[in-house]
């Protein structure tokens, strides 16, 4: 794959990797008394490994000009493989932490393996490792197809993909060493945050440059969502991570905000990480892969527009519903609740748009597990957004907050919507990308589907039960007007549900393992490559024929 780079791109890659190695060395020296030093060593090793990789192919012949007539899909291929690796790793850690709540000594007497350290490793590995790689991979794929243009160069997509994965590695290894800002879903420390800012700017530039080269007059709806995902995550990430490092030799930093302002900023970030990372990005995925796989056009252009601007505008108000009945001023709580309830309209517009697109193709949903993944995703998107609006109501939130109901809600979204649409999209793209007629084993796709559905339902029902039961127990009074249950009694009552949840997680993980095997075998299987998408080419410009102008 590196051999696909031109000579000048190989040189640029070496310069970037050398700069990375020097940064790593500087971090390792400055932070030699601190976990920062370990991260410096990791960065340095990543840089050196990259340099060796490039030098290895440096004198190979340059790729021929014919490549420019093709889409550039190598980064997408690697992103999909990385996404599946992170999925299995992240879900494995997730199931491990789930079992820790049943058997608390599953830490094996080590510091790195306790619940508080590996729980963020689980959330980051699945959200950023699995979800982020899937978003980067699919966005580059969709961007090229819907613009009918090749990516502008071959270095920037690799910079984004590999730089992003370095961020994920720093995040996950950091938590195990105890490096964390403690801001949920924004735990990585200042230097990792800076890396992500640079990666993100390049990511957006790829978008702008490719769209500038597009041969389609209109920007397709999937790209609106991918752009909202990139832009708004940049805003959220930058503001919420403003912090003062102890020194350049310390991993530790102190947040620029404190107390109530910090809480509001954090949940403005936290809720919109859900909105723009886990919703907008994956809606972009859905708006491309679902209609293509179903062979049907999107049901309603108008609903797409309403939904897009509704989500972009209203979600940013909703974060304060995480802080009902707290020391946050009530007017902010009320605004958050109001917008959360209104959000149901744009959310269901998208869910409805997806399901109505399937009209006329329901027989395919029955026969094709890949499309069924996407259909279940749309259903769970609708269910979870309804549940979210419901839980944002103050009086409902007084019961649900701090309980497993929230955990169940998050997983209905993460497993039911995000993972399902991702698996569907990956199963659709893998044969297209590796020029196979179909997946290695359609039967294994069915297995994955049913394992995932079984795991999802087991998990979510367990958490609904435990959350509502615990919330009710906390507020139960006896006849003499005192609280009926001590806290520990409510913990004991959770045990059967914690077992059920861990089993549900295990089923979902098993599905991901089956899927990874199937994807790997599809890539590996020998045989005549079948180019199922012979017409899958960007617009080229034969000599003498003027290029298509926008508006033609």
Partner 1 sequence: MGFLGLHYRLERKTMSLAIGIIIAASIGGLIEIVPLFTIHQTVEDAPDMRVYTPLEIAGRNIYIREGCYACHSQMIRTLRDEVERYGPYSLAVESKYDHPMLWGSKRTGPDIARLGGKYSDEWHVKHLINPRDVVPESVMPPYAYLTRAKVRVDDLGLHLAALRKVGVPYTDEMIANASNDAYGQTSPDTPFAEGVTKRYGEATNVRAFDGQPGEPTEMDALVAYLQILGKLTDAAHKAKTAAAGE
CB of 510 to partner 1, least distance (A): 25
* Contact call for residue 245 and partner 1 (CB under 8 A): yes
Distances (CA, A) of 20 to 1, 36, 163, 166, 441: 21, 15, 10, 11, 41
* Contact call for residue 264 and partner 1 (CB under 8 A): yes
CB of 326 to partner 1, least distance (A): 5
CB of 260 to partner 1, least distance (A): 4
* Contact call for residue 550 and partner 1 (CB under 8 A): yes
Beta bridge partners of 243: 255
User: CA-to-CA distance for 376 and 416, rounded, in angstroms?
Assistant: 7
Residue from 23, 25, 292, 332 in contact with partner 1 (CB under 8 A): 332
Full 3-state SS string of 106-147: CCCCCCCCCHHHHHHHHHHHHHHHHHHHHHHHHHHHHHHHHH
How far does CA 525 lie from the centroid of its chain?
29
CB of 107 to partner 1, least distance (A): 5
Of 184-243, binders to partner 1 (CB under 8 A) are: 184, 208, 211-212, 217-219, 224, 227-228, 231-232, 235, 239, 243
* Contact call for residue 542 and partner 1 (CB under 8 A): no
Residue from 66, 488, 543, 545 in contact with partner 1 (CB under 8 A): 488
Residue from 68, 70, 246, 537 in contact with partner 1 (CB under 8 A): 246
Half-sphere exposure of 223 (CA within 13 A, CB side): 21
* Contact call for residue 30 and partner 1 (CB under 8 A): no
CB of 227 to partner 1, least distance (A): 6
Residue from 76, 133, 279, 312 in contact with partner 1 (CB under 8 A): 312
Of 467-486, binders to partner 1 (CB under 8 A) are: 474-475, 477, 482-483
Cβ–Cβ < 8 Å for 417, 379: no
CB of 353 to partner 1, least distance (A): 15
* Contact call for residue 56 and partner 1 (CB under 8 A): no
Nearer to partner 1 by C-beta: 8 or 111?
Answer: 111
Of 104-143, binders to partner 1 (CB under 8 A) are: 104-105, 107, 109, 111, 114-117, 119-120
Of 337-396, binders to partner 1 (CB under 8 A) are: 339
User: CA-to-CA distance for 200 and 144, rounded, in angstroms?
Assistant: 18
Residue from 18, 23, 48, 260 in contact with partner 1 (CB under 8 A): 260
Task: Specify the 3-state DSSP secondary structure of 476.
Answer: coil
CB of 212 to partner 1, least distance (A): 7
CB of 108 to partner 1, least distance (A): 10
* Contact call for residue 266 and partner 1 (CB under 8 A): yes
Of 405-464, binders to partner 1 (CB under 8 A) are: 406-407
Give the angle 15-241-326 at the CA atoms, nearest 5°.
165
Stretch that binds partner 1, among 155-163, 297-305, 344-352, 379-387 (CB under 8 A): 297-305
* Contact call for residue 262 and partner 1 (CB under 8 A): yes
Spatial CA neighbour of 47 closest among 12, 18, 78:
18
Task: Specify the 3-state DSSP secondary structure of 255.
Answer: strand
Nearer to partner 1 by C-beta: 69 or 212?
Answer: 212
CB of 419 to partner 1, least distance (A): 21
Cβ neighbourhood burial of 526 (10 Å; 0-12, 13-18, 19+):
exposed
DSSP 319-358: GGGGGTTSSS-HHHHHHHHHHHHHTHHHHHHHHHHHHHHT
| Residue keyed to tokens 């609280």 | 483
Q: Is the dihedral of CA 142, 354, 406, 229 positive or negative?
A: positive
Angle between helices 133-147 and 281-294 (to 10 degrees): 60
User: CA-to-CA distance for 473 and 489, rounded, in angstroms?
Assistant: 9
User: CA-to-CA distance for 513 and 88, rounded, in angstroms?
Assistant: 6
Residue from 259, 297, 544, 546 in contact with partner 1 (CB under 8 A): 259
Residue from 327, 526, 543, 545 in contact with partner 1 (CB under 8 A): 327
- Measured distance between the N- and C-terminal CA atoms of the chain, rounded to whole angstroms: 36
* Contact call for residue 261 and partner 1 (CB under 8 A): yes
Stretch that binds partner 1, among 40-48, 193-201, 329-337, 354-362 (CB under 8 A): 329-337
How far does CA 351 lie from the centroid of its chain?
19
Q: Is the dihedral of CA 26, 32, 37, 41 positive or negative?
A: positive
Task: Give 34's DSSP letter.
Answer: S
* Contact call for residue 94 and partner 1 (CB under 8 A): no
User: CA-to-CA distance for 137 and 159, rounded, in angstroms?
Assistant: 13
Taking residues 492 to 521 in sequence order and writing x for each that binds partner 1 by CB under 8 A, - otherwise, the string is x-----------------------------
Of 159-178, binders to partner 1 (CB under 8 A) are: 175, 178
Of 269-288, binders to partner 1 (CB under 8 A) are: 276
Nearer to partner 1 by C-beta: 401 or 448?
Answer: 401
């Amino acid at each position: 794959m590196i051999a696909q780079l031109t000579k000048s791109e190989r040189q640029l890659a070496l310069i970037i990797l050398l700069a990375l190695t020097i940064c790593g060395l500087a971090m390792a020296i400055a932070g030699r008394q601190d976990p920062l030093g370990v991260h410096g060593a990791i960065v340095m090793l990543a840089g050196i490994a990259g340099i060796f990789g490039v030098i290895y192919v440096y004198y190979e012949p340059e790729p021929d000009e014919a490549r420019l007539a093709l889409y550039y899909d190598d980064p997408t291929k690697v992103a999909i493989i990385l996404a599946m690796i992170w999925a299995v790793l992240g879900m494995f850690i997730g199931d491990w932490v789930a079992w820790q709540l049943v058997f608390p000594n599953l830490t094996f007497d080590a510091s790195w393996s306790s619940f508080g350290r590996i729980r963020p490793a689980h959330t980051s590995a699945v959200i950023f490792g699995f979800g982020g790689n899937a978003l980067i991979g699919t966005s580059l794929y969709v961007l090229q197809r819907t613009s009918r243009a090749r990516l502008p160069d071959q270095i920037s997509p690799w910079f984004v993909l590999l730089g992003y994965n370095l961020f994920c590695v720093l995040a996950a290894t950091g938590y195990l060493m105890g490096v964390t800002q403690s801001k949920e879903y924004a735990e990585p420390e200042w230097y990792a945050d800076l890396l992500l800012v640079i990666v993100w700017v390049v990511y957006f530039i790829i978008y702008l440059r490719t769209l500038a080269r597009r041969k389609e007059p209109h920007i397709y709806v999937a790209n609106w969502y991918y752009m909202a995902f990139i832009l708004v995550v940049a805003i959220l990430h930058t503001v919420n991570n403003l912090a003062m490092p102890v020194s350049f030799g310390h991993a530790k930093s102190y947040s620029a905000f404190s107390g109530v302002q910090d809480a509001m900023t954090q949940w403005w970030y936290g809720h919109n990480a859900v909105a723009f990372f886990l919703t907008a990005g994956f809606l972009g995925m859905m708006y491309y892969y679902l209609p293509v796989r179903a062979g049907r056009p999107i049901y309603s252009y108008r609903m797409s527009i309403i939904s897009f601007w509704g989500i972009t505008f209203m979600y940013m108000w909703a974060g304060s519903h995480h802080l009902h009945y707290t020391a946050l001023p009530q007017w902010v709580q009320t605004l958050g609740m109001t917008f959360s309830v209104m959000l149901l309209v744009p959310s269901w517009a998208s869910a409805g748009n997806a399901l109505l697109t399937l009209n006329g193709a329901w027989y395919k949903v029955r026969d094709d597990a890949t499309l069924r993944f996407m259909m279940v995703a749309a259903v769970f998107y609708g269910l979870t957004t309804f549940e979210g609006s419901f839980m944002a109501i103050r009086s409902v939130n007084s019961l649900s907050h701090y309980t497993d109901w929230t955990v169940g809600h998050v997983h209905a979204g993460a497993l039911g919507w995000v993972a399902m649409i991702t698996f569907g999209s990956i199963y659709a793209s893998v044969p297209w990308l590796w020029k196979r007629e179909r997946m290695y084993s359609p039967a294994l796709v069915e297995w994955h589907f049913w394992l995932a559905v079984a795991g999802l339902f087991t998990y979510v029902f367990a958490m609904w039960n435990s959350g509502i039961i615990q919330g009710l127990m906390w507020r139960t009074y006896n006849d003499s007007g005192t609280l009926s249950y001590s806290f520990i009694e409510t913990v004991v009552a959770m045990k059967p549900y914690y077992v059920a949840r861990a089993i549900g997680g295990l089923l979902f993980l098993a599905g991901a393992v089956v899927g990874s095997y199937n994807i790997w075998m599809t890539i590996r299987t020998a045989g005549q490559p079948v180019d199922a998408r012979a017409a899958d080419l960007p617009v080229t410009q034969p000599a003498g024929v003027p290029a298509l102008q926008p508006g033609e």
